[in-house]
Amino acid sequence: MGRQRGIELLQEMYEGSYTIERVIEDDEEQARRYLSDFQDQDISYVDALNWSVMLRRGISKAFTFDRRHYSLVQFIGFVVVPPLYL
Each residue's pLDDT expressed in tens, for the chain with a length of 86 residues: 689 998 998 899 989 988 889 999 999 999 999 999 988 888 889 989 998 999 999 998 877 777 666 667 676 778 877 765 55
3-state secondary structure 2-65: CHHHHHHHHHHHHCCCCCCCCCCHHHHHHHHHHHHHCCCCCCCHHHHHHHHHHHHHCCCEEECC
Residue type, 81: V
